[in-house]
Amino acid sequence: MEATPGGDALADAPSGRDSRRIRFELRAAWHRFAPAVGLYTFVKATGFVTFFALVQYARDHGQVSRSSREPVLRFFDVLGSWDGVWYAMVAAHGYHPALVPTATGVQQNSAAFFPLYPALIRIVHTCTGLGYPGSALLASILASLVAAAGIYAVAHTLIGHKAALICVALWAVFPSSGVEWSGYSESTLIAVASWCLYFTLRRRWLLGGLFALLSGLGRPTAFAVVAAYGVAAIVELVRRRDGRVRPLVGLLMAPAGVLGFLLWVGLRMGRLDGYSVLERKGWGQYIDFGAWTAKGYLRTAMGQPFWHDSPQEDLIAILLLTALPMLIILLIRMRPPVAVLVYVVLFVAAGLCSHQNFGNVSRYLLPAFPLLLPVAAGLRRLSWPVLLSCLVIAGFASGWYAGYIPFVLGVP
């Protein structure tokens, strides 16, 4: 049988159109997000320079970490310390959940660390051949770029292009933002959380539900993301602008990640509340409705040492907590969508109501990036030369207050 003239061309036509459409969408995404990701990378890189110089200076001069009483090691050892060791361990060896009693509680184990970030580390390790510590750092950097794009997308929807760029840059210099390029899971969580919030604002219910599910695999505080999406989906079910099927499917998907992991851990430990028991008795973290935070605030403000003998991290925490009510009032004044308010309020509540290292308040508030929207909206009146000058100065300073202080002098 002879081939039909032009048959190959006809067969190739749909795939050709698809490839051209994909290339067009990729170019459109590049033009849309490249300025935000580029500005974020530039500001973060300035802070990285300061952080590197301070760690190198500390090592050369025998500086001792006040929290661990051990000499400062290599730069990348610092970035992969504390929780980074556990995440790399999970990526390399998986989980070994168990409740092992000790004289003072329960033995710490890797089940306290949610699986999304270790899975990303494992993927980077497989694709690049880097060791697990290096893969953890690269995974965080890549996730932070996705997070920067997501933050820009949310901010652009609410306050426009220029202010959205400023919002991304402010997130890059936020207190404790040093964990964005380290062995911590914040960048991964905020990457999926910001895109969930964006898809929720755009009423893309299936994508929003999927990203809410993924966020639930990132950290237990992702209940704030799930709740924000859930409230918006329920409102949509009442209004019926987009029908019932997609919001309902998304609503069922959203909590599956966090509930599924907690259930799995509980079953492996032999009791359904196994994760909460591990967190409370093994890691000393639980909900105390702000009692520990209030105690840390008052004692630090009065000049008394609290938890460890390095005051810098705690001082940054009380400055942020002092500014927090003002940021919340300014955000409410902007009248953002209800999903944004629920998202911010619950992340703030999670950060303030947990019994934890007081200096970590700023890290727990890092996902609450909509708090920066009013500040970014106010700064957009400035010219770009003035803005860039201020951001560069803030970037260099962040290497000290958001990097060196938590990682070397305190606990990130």
Phi, psi angle pair for 354, to nearest 5°: -100, 140
pLDDT values of the chain reduced to their tens digit, one per residue, 412 residues = 444 444 444 445 556 676 777 777 778 778 889 999 999 999 999 999 999 999 888 876 666 554 555 555 677 788 888 899 999 999 999 998 888 888 788 889 999 999 999 999 999 999 999 999 999 999 999 999 999 999 999 999 999 999 999 999 999 999 999 999 999 999 999 999 999 999 999 999 999 999 999 999 999 999 999 999 999 999 999 988 888 899 999 999 999 999 999 999 999 999 999 999 999 999 988 999 999 999 999 998 888 877 666 788 999 999 999 999 999 999 999 999 999 999 999 999 999 999 888 889 999 999 999 999 999 999 999 999 999 999 999 999 999 999 999 998 888 8
Count of beta carbons in the 10 Å neighbourhood of residue 300: 22
Closest CA to 197 of 130, 125, 149: 149
Which structural domain, as residue segments, surrounds residue 320? 37-363+373-409
> Structurally, how many domains does the chain consist of?
1
> Does residue 259 belong to any structural domain of this protein?
yes
Say how far apart CA 311 and CA 409 lie, in whole Å.
Answer: 9
pTM higher than 0.85, yes or no?
yes
* pLDDT value, residue 177: 95
> Does residue 176 belong to any structural domain of this protein?
yes
> Does residue 308 belong to any structural domain of this protein?
yes
Report the largest interatomic distance among the alpha carbons of the chain, rounded to a whole angstrom: 92
> Does residue 44 belong to any structural domain of this protein?
yes
Residue 249, CA distances (Å) to 201, 230, 234, 236 in order: 17, 11, 11, 12
> Does residue 172 belong to any structural domain of this protein?
yes
H or E stretch at 386 = helix 384-398
> Does residue 160 belong to any structural domain of this protein?
yes
Residue with tokens 């090592």: 59
Say how far apart CA 90 and CA 111 lie, in whole Å.
Answer: 9
**40 exposed, middle or buried (CB, 10 Å; 0-12, 13-18, 19+)?**
buried
Q: Is beta strand 354-355 parallel, antiparallel or unpaired with respect to 286-287?
A: antiparallel
Say how far apart CA 411 and CA 407 lie, in whole Å.
Answer: 6
Say how far apart CA 223 and CA 177 lie, in whole Å.
Answer: 21
Say how far apart CA 231 and CA 197 lie, in whole Å.
Answer: 12
> Does residue 327 belong to any structural domain of this protein?
yes
> Does residue 17 belong to any structural domain of this protein?
no
Phi, psi angle pair for 307, to nearest 5°: 70, -55
Q: What is the DSSP letter of 203?
A: T
Please state the length of the chain: 412
Q: Which amino acid is at 192?
A: V
